[in-house]
Amino acid sequence: MDGVPLTWFLMLSAVLFGLGVAGFVFRRNIITVFMSIELMLNAVNLSFIAFACRLGQVDGQIFAFFVMVVAAAEAAVGLAIILTVFRNRATLQIDELDSLKN
Amino acid sequence: MAAAIFLIFAFLAVVCGLNVVLRRHPVSSALWLIGVMVSLAVLYALLGAHFLAAAQVIVYAGAIMVLFVIVIMLVNAGAEQRSTASRMAQHAGLPLLAALLGALGYVMWRAAPAGKVAGAAAVGKGTAQDIGRALFTTYLLPFELASILVLIAVVGAVVLAYKEMD
């Protein structure tokens, strides 16, 4: 009666990860693409914590904690890069940021 | 009870996630992303990860999203322009996405150990005490490395974003 099957959490995690991938592929604004990456990281965290609960161990939660730390660092550096790109190129469209192409 | 809470907040998370992807304006996406993060924080609390639920709200919904909104404000980002540059994403994107979701769902359905989580199974693992004990004994070295990583990130962000006054 009480409790939720582990697979439900994993399914939710898969759906959120898929949404993140969709945003990453389809969106053309570099900030929204970056937010999609955060969405994927959150989906993975949910899996970690669901498994930690299932196995009765705290280790999975520690991994999720480190993912959060890395995500914070990544957000700071990534947004600084976005600021610099915008200052130099005056655009946020990823189609126009193609100086590494060819 | 736990199943009802899960269903409500899972639905909220998926709706907010859809809006993150579908909204044209970055500020709308950012605000819906906060909805995803708060829903996930409730689910973490449901799983007994009380410390991480608090950290999710403080670090993600608080610090990181504020950073996003500030950058959106700084660059004055308007609604995204439509583009036709990526033909491949337009045609192959949705089938590939469906294939990815199918594969993920199949693997998780087959490989996941049976059993229930949350509710009565989730008592007393993941308080600040548990996390702290693991973090400062077993995982002390990764923890210290993470502090160096964050320091490097802060210095790097300042170096990147610093603008010389002419």
Asked if B116 is an interface residue toward chain A (Cβ–Cβ < 8 A), one would say yes
pLDDT tens digits, A11-53 = 899 999 999 998 888 888 899 999 999 999 999 999 999 888 8
B20 with A36: CB under 8 angstroms? Answer: yes
The whole-angstrom distance between residue A32's C-alpha and the CA centroid of its chain comes to 11
A18, A22, A62 member nearest B104 (Cβ): A18
CA–CA separation, B25 vs A90, rounded Å? 18
Residue B56 makes CB contacts below 8 A (sequence gap 6+) with: A45, A68, B37, B40, B41, B44
A33 with A94: CB under 8 angstroms? Answer: yes
What does the mean pLDDT of chain B come to? Answer: 85
A5, A52, A75 member nearest B67 (Cβ): A75
Please list the residues that pair with A29 across neighbouring strands: A93
Tell if the CB–CB gap between B100 and A21 is shorter than 8 Å.
Answer: yes
pLDDT tens digits, B95-126 = 888 888 888 888 888 877 777 776 655 666 77
Asked if B83 is an interface residue toward chain A (Cβ–Cβ < 8 A), one would say yes
A 23-82 residues with CB < 8 A to B: 23, 25-29, 31-32, 34-36, 38-39, 42, 45-46, 49-50, 52-54, 56-59, 61-62, 64-66, 68-77, 79-82
CA–CA separation, B98 vs B102, rounded Å? 6
Asked if B1 is an interface residue toward chain A (Cβ–Cβ < 8 A), one would say yes
Asked if B165 is an interface residue toward chain A (Cβ–Cβ < 8 A), one would say no
Q: Which residue has the higher pLDDT, B78 or A71?
A: A71
Best of A1, A30, A31 to substitute, by most chain B Cβ atoms within 10 angstroms, is A31
Structure tokens at B71: 């950058």
CA-to-CA separations, B99 to B5, B96, B128, B133, in angstroms, rounded: 29, 5, 39, 42
Asked if B61 is an interface residue toward chain A (Cβ–Cβ < 8 A), one would say no
Structure tokens at B123: 């008592």
Q: How far does A35 lie from chain B, in Å, by closest CA?
A: 7
The whole-model pTM stands at: 0.89
One DSSP character per residue, B77-115 reads --SPPP--S-HHHHHHHHHHHHHHHHHHHHHHHHHSPP-
Instruction: Work out whether the CA dihedral B58, B61, B67, B73 comes out positive or negative.
Output: negative
Given a cut of 80, whether residue B93 has pLDDT beyond it is no
Given a cut of 80, whether residue B90 has pLDDT beyond it is no
Domains annotated for chain A, with CATH where assigned, are 6-89 (1.10.287.3510)
